[in-house]
Each structure stands twice: as C-alpha cells, then as structure tokens.
Structure 1
Amino acid sequence: MTKIDLNSDLGESFGRYNLGKDKEIIQLVTSVNIACGFHASDPDVMAKTVALAEEAGVGIGAHPGYPDLQGFGRRNMLLQPAEVEHLITYQVGALQAFTSSKKLHHVKPHGALYNMAAKDYELSLAICHAIKSIDPDLPIYALAGSKTVQAAETVGIRCVQEVFGDRNYLPDGNLVPRSEANAVITDPAEVAAHVLEMVKNQAVTAIDGSTVPLQADSICVHGDNAAALAIVANLRETLQQNKIKLQAF
C-alpha cells in the first residue's frame, strides 16, 4: 500500500488576529509546520498550537521564516549564510522548547526563505547546517527536486521531498509565484486530482502542459488558503478511497 505524509502550515495567528482553522485541520493531517514568531505567530499561539498537535498525535515541525511579520515572510531578503543559520537556530529552538519531549519531528522553512533556498544551493546549505547543529536526526522538508534536497544530502541530514496540493508548478519544478493569478488552487476537487497525479505518477503537470518528474514523500496544503479545511477534508477522503495510507514521514 502506498503511504504518504499530509502536512499543513499552521499556528500563524498573531495576538488578536486569527488565521486559519488550526484545531480542525490538525485532526485531518499527519504532520504540521508551526510558525515560530518571525513571519507569524507569537509565544501564546506557539504554545497553543503545539498542545493541539501533541493531543492529536501528529508530527510537530518548526516552520522558520524571514523576520517579516508585515509581509508574512513572503518577501525576499538577502542575508549572509551565518545570519540564516542563526535565524533558523533561534526559531527552531524556540518551538522545540514548547514541546513536552523537547524534540521535533522535522523543520520546514517558510515562504520566501523556502522558495529562495529551492533555487539557491548556498542558502540551502546554511539552513541544513543549522538544522544539523540542533539535531543531526532532524529531517528537513524541502521542495521536491530542489537545491535544498541536494544540500541536505551534502550536509548529511534526512530530507523529506514535498509536493504542494494547492499550488501550481512551473516547467522547472518550482512553484508558480504567488504574484501570478494561477499560483494557488482553491477548488477541493482540483486539489485532490492534482495530488493523486503526483502521488501515483511521481510527476506533476506544469502550467505549460509539460510533465515534471518529482518524488512525493509529503503533501502540503496551506492553512491560510481560504478553502483549507474543505481541501484537506476532501483530500484525505480521496487518498483513502484510492488505497493511499496517510502516515507521518
């Protein structure tokens, strides 16, 4: 039986501002990526989200991003490798401290940091070195086929190759930028069909109609997608109907 991890980016509320349906989505996924305070979240939200995830028994991952609350971590920043290592260490360490075991399931960079690293080997090396210094057994979630996958192999940490159910792809295997109208998929049925193609064929159809090979270890659905709950619920049901077992990596 085919097995796949289903993850979602959560814990992105801040103070009085609530984002997403974390409590409901956590019940439907197998792992979560929790914001660490730089692009979203705050200590209270981090503590609450970790507690919900532990209660549900899902894999808890840190979701470190650029220090960009106003831009939700989706604006590119140019930092030196040492700066990137330190911001990863700071955020991962903060979230790890909220867990009862003081251990995490994985680390997944957020937003612009994730997408820039996917194309930038040196940036990816900085991220991977930081993760290894925290815990050599801690895996990184990375865009399938990206430079981050290569860097993880070089540094010697495990890598979970990730695909996106609610995002369209470019012919080079990168995600369509959010600045473009067709970047995000919001129809639950379309997301499910998109994911089935990637899981069954280990490939995705890019926006130009070309086929892009990829390795699908984990599927991500963004928690801030307006239709996130409906998407995850329908996706979970569709995968199970197709004899695909959901299991944390």
Structure 2
Amino acid sequence: MTRIDLNSDLGEGFGEWRLGDDETMLELVTSANIACGFHAGDPALLLDTCRAASKLTVRIGAQVGYHDLTGFGRRFIDVAPADLTAEVIYQIGALDGLARAAGSHVSYVKPHGALYNAIVHHRDQARAVVAAIRAYNDSLPVLGLSGSVFLEEAEHSGLAVVTEAFADRAYTPEGTLVSRREPGAVLRDPDEVARRVLRMVTEGVVTAIDGSDVRVSAQSVCIHGDSPDAAAMATAVRALLDAENIDVRAFT
C-alpha cells in the first residue's frame, strides 16, 4: 500500500492575533510543523498547540526560521552561519521544552519560509542549520525539498532526511517553488489541490506553472495552515487519499 505523511505549519498566530484553523488541521494531518517564536507564535499559543497535537498523537516538528516576526519569516536574512546555528538550536530547544510539558516531544525539524527557500541553494546556511540539528539531537530527521543542498548536507552529515512536496504551491519547471510574489504561486481550489496531491503520491509527478510535468519525490506533503482555504483543502486531500486507499501516517 502507498504511504504518505501530511504536514501543516501551525501555531502561527501571536498574542491576540490568530492565524488559521489549527484545530481542524490537526484532525486531518499526521505531522505538525509548529512555529518556534521567531517567525510566529507566542509561548502560550505554542504550548496550547503542542497540547492539541499531543492529544491527537500528531507528530510535532520544530519549524525553525529567521528571527523575523514583522516579515513572518518570509524575508531572506544574511545571517552569519555561527549565529544561525545558535538561533536554530535555541528554537528547537524552546519548542521541545513546550512539547515535553504537553506530553510529547520534537520529533523532526523543518525550516520555514525564506530560510527553507534559501537553503535549497545557500550551502553555508544549509550547513549552519544542519550543524544546529546535530548539536541538539542528531537523531532528529529533517524535512525539506528534494534536490536541495540542505538535504544533501543533512544526509552527508548522517541525519535522516524526508523529502517533501507542496499541495498548495506552484512549481517551476526546475522543481522549485514559485515565489509568492508571482501570480499563481498559491493554489486555493480544494478539488484541484486534492488531485495534485494524489498524482504526487501515486505518480511522483506535479504539473509546473508552465504546464510541463515535473518529477517530485515526496515522503510528506505540506498543506499550508495559514491559507484561508487550508481546512477545506486538507479535508479534500484527506478524503481523496482515504478513498484511494492511501496509507496516511506520520513518517517518524
């Protein structure tokens, strides 16, 4: 039976500001990439999110990013590698403490936003993130884009790597993500997204923004939790995968 993990970015509010329907998403996904306070998330919200994930036995991942609350972590920052390593250790440790207080623990790491996209090609920052994960807990798997230098460096260093595809993001013909600044970068139709995911999982293919087919390697598929249509898309994806007898479970 074909197997796939579904993940989503959660805990991305701050204070009185809430973003996304985390409760519904946690009922549908198998892994939760929870913010660590640098791009979003305050301690109380993150603890509540960890508790909700733990109650539903959803795996908790540390979604580490640039120190950029104002930009939601979507702006590249030219951080010195040593500083980036320290910042990533700090974020993993903070979330792991909250997760353990909630009866769970951090079981993988996924970079967020601009950091995720930067380390597809930025080798120095990729190495800095890998160094942080190894320093904190070298048994933690990393979640990233297939073909990225991040996964290359992680695998070379002995970390377990998990390849990821995106349900609701457009792809370039080169297999990278279309910038959010470009039209059509974010998909919103639940049925279209569900069909895309099924094809990713069963054929290893996604249609790029120019109409060409691109090979994708996916052990996990992300549905972004901050989209207004996130819950509807996740519901459609999960329903179609279940109908096609796809085994949806966490990779860890």
- 2:178 paired with 1:169: no
Give the Cα–Cα distance (whole angstroms) in 2 for the partners of residues 131 and 73 of structure 1.
Answer: 19
Aligned match of 1:225: 227
1:210 positional shift: 2.4
Q: Is the 8 A contact 1:125 1:155 kept in 2?
A: no
Q: Is the 8 A contact 2:54 2:104 kept in 1?
A: no
Q: Is the 8 A contact 1:7 1:220 kept in 2?
A: yes
TM-score, normalization by structure 1:
0.97
1:103 positional shift: 3.1
Aligned match of 2:157: 155
1:76-122 CA deviation, whole Å, 9 max, x = no partner?
Answer: 11011111111110101000001235731111000000000112222
1:62 positional shift: 0.5
Amino acid of the residue matched to residue 235 of structure 1? V
- 2:249 paired with 1:247: yes
Aligned match of 1:65: 65
Map 1:1-249 to 2 at 5 A: 1-100=1-100, 103-249=105-251
Give the Cα–Cα distance (whole angstroms) in 2 for the partners of residues 179 and 208 of structure 1.
Answer: 16
1:124 positional shift: 1.2
Give the Cα–Cα distance (whole angstroms) in 1 for the partners of residues 170 and 9 of structure 2.
Answer: 17
Query: Cα gap change, 1:102/1:191 in structure 2, threshold over 3 Å: closer, same or farther?
Result: closer
Q: Is the 8 A contact 1:60 1:106 kept in 2?
A: yes
Report % sequence identity. 47
Q: Secondary structure at the match of 2:83?
A: helix
Give the Cα–Cα distance (whole angstroms) in 2 for the partners of residues 219 and 230 of structure 1.
Answer: 16
Aligned length: 249
Q: Secondary structure at the match of 1:108?
A: strand
TM-score, normalization by structure 2:
0.96
Task: Provide the alpha-carbon RMSD of the alignment.
Answer: 1.1
